[in-house]
């Protein structure tokens, strides 16, 4: 069986993947990794030098070569030269606010079911790391409408996203403002397929997201603490127009694999945040009433958060300790 070679986008018509091919060009970013695994990101400029404790490296010796080679500095230091992948760019790019970590971005894209051509609403934008993953997932035929209430963060994000994609991504619209205030102003025909909330108080945006999401659409919230997790889940649940929210976290552990020494690495990406997803019901529809009784005391006298609408009154008198 013969496999046809993949069709590559012509250089004058970018495919908006953020991936560049061919020889390294002036103005491109490369990642230099030394023998100890230390990484440096360098923007290639003719006539410039990269300096380290192992001397210097002429940019001109890198420009024009195919990535994936080892360059030697003036004092004999060896550097692996590659263009950064998206997940490498996301954790090394300039930051305004904390970024979504790649393990969580991967979960968000998969579990919120972000697809090519989708219209995704995102807030806040922070440094734009998640925006890059979302834009890559929706592609140039989709749309990412991003909202960030701090202008200075929006500017950092615009620089990062534009740098990664090599220009203004045609699918991206960035609004400076509060999501709950701005989203209702979105034109009624702008059907929203997916909404992703990475902010301190996502529960404040659930009503606005519910009004904008198409039936079957997904809301996904990313929060750092258990108190935020509880509040956003209970707010989605008590709204009544979403399916039962699902909450989880992911832990990623690297492995050391060398001859007979095959064991878990010493460090792991442990806690970064919790994820919550739920799907929008059609207008006026509610999810089936839960047959399972809540855990004893879950919504008892000590609980002060939002309550599900169909809660039997006697449960509100229980104590968690009983």
Ligand X SMILES: C[S@@+](CC[C@H](N)C(=O)[O-])C[C@H]1O[C@@H](n2cnc3c(N)ncnc32)[C@H](O)[C@@H]1O
Greatest CA separation found in the chain?
Answer: 77
Binding of ligand X by 163 (CB under 6 A): no
CA dihedral sign of residues 8, 14, 17, 21: positive
* Of positions 198, 232, 241, 245, contacts ligand X by CB under 6 A: 198
Q: Which of 120, 155, 117, 147 is nearest to 134 (CA)?
A: 120
Binding of ligand X by 147 (CB under 6 A): yes
* Of positions 153, 164, 203, 299, contacts ligand X by CB under 6 A: 153
CB-based contacts of 4, cutoff 8 Å, min separation 6? none
* Of positions 120, 137, 174, 179, contacts ligand X by CB under 6 A: 179
Binding of ligand X by 229 (CB under 6 A): no
SS3 label, residue 33:
strand
Q: Which is nearer to ligand X, 122 or 193 (CB)?
A: 122
List of E strands, 149-212: 172-176, 192-197
DSSP assignments along 227-291, one per residue = HHHHHHHHHHHHHSSBPPPEEE---EEEEEEETTEEEEEEEEE--S-EEEEEEBPPTT--PPPP-
Binding of ligand X by 149 (CB under 6 A): yes
CA distance 150 to 108: 23
Closest residue to ligand X: CB criterion? 124
C-alpha 177: how far from its chain's center? Answer: 19
165: buried, middle or exposed (CB in 10 Å: 19+, 13-18, 0-12)? Answer: buried
* Of positions 200, 214, 295, 301, contacts ligand X by CB under 6 A: 200
CA distance 71 to 54: 12
* Of positions 112, 137, 199, 275, contacts ligand X by CB under 6 A: 199
> 80 to 139, contacts with ligand X by CB under 6 A?
97-100, 123-130
Give the DSSP letter of residue 15. -
> 201 to 220, contacts with ligand X by CB under 6 A?
205
Region from 64-72, 164-172, 174-182, 248-256 binding ligand X, contact rule CB under 6 A: 174-182
**Smallest distance, Å, CB 200 to ligand X?**
6
Tokens of 241: 């127009």
* Of positions 20, 48, 87, 150, contacts ligand X by CB under 6 A: 150
Query: Residues in contact with ligand X, total (CB under 6 A)?
Result: 24
**Smallest distance, Å, CB 181 to ligand X?**
8
Q: Which of 111, 317, 318 is nearest to 219 (CA)?
A: 111
Q: Which is nearer to ligand X, 60 or 155 (CB)?
A: 155
Q: Which is nearer to ligand X, 107 or 127 (CB)?
A: 127
Q: Which is nearer to ligand X, 44 or 121 (CB)?
A: 121
Angle of helix 102-111 relative to helix 129-138, nearest 10 degrees, comes to 40
CB atoms within 10 A of CB 146: 27
Q: Which is nearer to ligand X, 150 or 307 (CB)?
A: 150
Per-residue x/- track, 46-85, ligand X (CB under 6 A): ----------------------------------------
**Smallest distance, Å, CB 70 to ligand X?**
32
Region from 24-32, 146-154, 225-233, 245-253 binding ligand X, contact rule CB under 6 A: 146-154
Q: Which residues bind ligand X (CB under 6 A)?
A: 97-100, 123-130, 147-150, 153, 178-180, 198-200, 205
């Amino acid at each position: 069986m013969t496999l046809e070679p993949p069709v590559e986008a012509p250089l004058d018509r970018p495919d908006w993947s953020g991936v560049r091919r061919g020889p390294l060009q002036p103005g491109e970013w490369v990642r230099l990794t030394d023998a100890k695994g230390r990484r440096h990101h360098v923007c290639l400029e003719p006539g410039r030098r990269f300096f380290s404790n192992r001397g210097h490296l002429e940019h001109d010796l890198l420009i024009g070569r195919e990535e994936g080679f080892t360059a030697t500095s003036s004092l004999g230091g060896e550097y692996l030269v590659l263009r950064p992948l998206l997940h490498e760019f996301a954790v090394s790019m300039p930051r305004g606010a904390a970024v979504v970590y790649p393990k969580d971005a991967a979960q968000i894209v998969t579990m919120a079911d972000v697809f090519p051509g989708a219209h995704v609403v995102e807030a806040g934008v922070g440094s734009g790391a998640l925006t890059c993953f979302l834009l890559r997932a929706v592609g140039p035929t989709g749309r990412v409408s991003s909202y960030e209430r701090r202008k200075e963060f929006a500017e950092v994000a615009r620089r990062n996203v534009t740098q990664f994609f090599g220009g203004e991504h045609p699918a991206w619209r960035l609004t400076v403002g509060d999501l709950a205030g701005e989203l209702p102003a979105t034109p009624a025909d702008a059907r929203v397929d997916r909404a992703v909330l990475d902010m301190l108080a996502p529960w404040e945006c659930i009503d606005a997201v519910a009004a904008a999401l198409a039936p079957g659409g997904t809301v996904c919230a990313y929060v750092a603490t258990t108190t935020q997790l509880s509040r956003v889940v209970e707010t989605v649940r008590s709204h009544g127009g979403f399916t039962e929210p699902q909450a989880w976290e992911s832990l990623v552990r690297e492995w050391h694999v060398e001859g007979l020494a095959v064991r878990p690495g010493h460090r792991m990406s442990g806690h970064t945040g919790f994820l919550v997803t739920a799907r929008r019901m059609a207008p006026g529809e509610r999810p089936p009433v839960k047959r399972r009784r809540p855990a004893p005391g879950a919504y008892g006298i000590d609980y002060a958060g939002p309550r599900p609408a169909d809660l039997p009154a006697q449960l509100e008198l229980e104590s968690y300790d009983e």
